[in-house]
Structure 1
Amino acid sequence: MLGVIAAMVVSMSATVFAGPSIGQIIPEEPQIVSTNVPEGAKLVVSTIDVTDEKTLDNYTSNETVKTLLKTVNDEETKPTIETVKEVLKEMNVEDVTNVETKSGEKVDLTEYKFTTPFIDIAEQIGDQITYKTNGDLEVKVKIDAAKEKKAEDLLLMLVDPETGKVVFITIDEIDPVTGELKVTLPFLGAITLLDKSAVDENEIETQTTDAGAADTETAAE
């Protein structure tokens, strides 16, 4: 009897602490809007398992990308931009308070909050998976965390798992009822949704202060 109870407890614990499924984050497959894609191409999404080293090694050989993915996808912590500031600096994001988006806008990342773990979005043609695109790719993707949000409050962080390149994507269009976003991506890879409206003023002040203090210490050294 005790063995049965123990098994039930383990089963319940696994259910409670399991990370969100891809369907909970992106309830439907993204749709390609662009016409500059090969015939039969489609977009596929999946979660990124950062707990299994072999799986992560198969996904990326870039150690900095691994560190970023592990930090943001850690289910036991609540990562902030300040948490990943040093990792982003290694990825050529020098100043998180003054970042240029792909569309040329300047944003302060400390005003944003991670609302999803990194998930993988790739192009599939038959059995082949690729992250490279033939120029900019317009896509529509439904993200549950984008429901009842405004386009101006959201950013996508996109990371190339092969090169480690990071870009920040503004939202072209949004359906706040379904959470469907229309975005223009220069390549595919790991994406996470950042939300400005999810951060309160105290969090912004703390992150900005911490970022400034860290930069001052670095300069002093």
Structure 2
Amino acid sequence: MPAAAADDQASVVMQLIPGEVYAGQQFAAVIQIKNTGANTWTRDAGYHLATVGGADWGVKRIELAGPVASDETATFKAQLTAPDAPGEHVFQWQMRRAAGAFGEAAPRLEVTVLPRDLSRDDAEFVFQDVSQTMLAGETHQVAIQFKNIGRSAWRAGRVSLASPRGEGLIWALDHVEMAPGQVIEPGAFLVFRFNVQAPPDPGHYPFQWQLHHARDGLFGRPSEGLVIDVR
């Protein structure tokens, strides 16, 4: 049985979520927490990640994928649902067990929830083909597909692929253009195929993309948030 709760400590490594979502939208979130205490975290002992302050993103706790020993890092991945009410909503998580919350809480974010009818442009993430392990400095081709579920066509020169929080620069580019002259009508699919270059230093790096309109900015559902292991 784990020792006293005083031996439970945690520090936040990173979190990956979109800064804007639509009311009722499902989206992927990734949060990494390092075990800096003496106890091994297990499901049976009640260790889990929980929301702070009662915020409801469809789930209020995320379970461990497996045991996490001292000095190891837990990666929590979850499919969350945005609140129905538009506005600014608090997004914050912290480790918990039966004795209560412990360790460092993830940074408190204000996520903007937009009404569904604010934009004529809307997109649904379909799939991505991305290697989740890369060698430092190595070049990889990736593919990301979206479906046009809005009311207007996407046109080259107006719509491109961008990183929601500038993480694209980690991969040696910040946006990807549509093919010249390409038009994606409502109901049709768009696949971006492009090369990324892994960072020069080993580590774990976020990878997520979203469609961007030259006039209105980011729109639609972002791609599933990944954490790439660069060796």
Normalised by the shorter chain, which TM-score bucket?
A: 0.3 to 0.5
From the two aligned structures, give the one with the greater strand fraction: 2
TM-score (normalizing by structure 1): 0.32
TM-score (normalizing by structure 2): 0.31
Q: Which has the higher contact order (CA 8 A, sep 6+)?
A: 1
From the two aligned structures, give the one with the greater helix fraction: 1
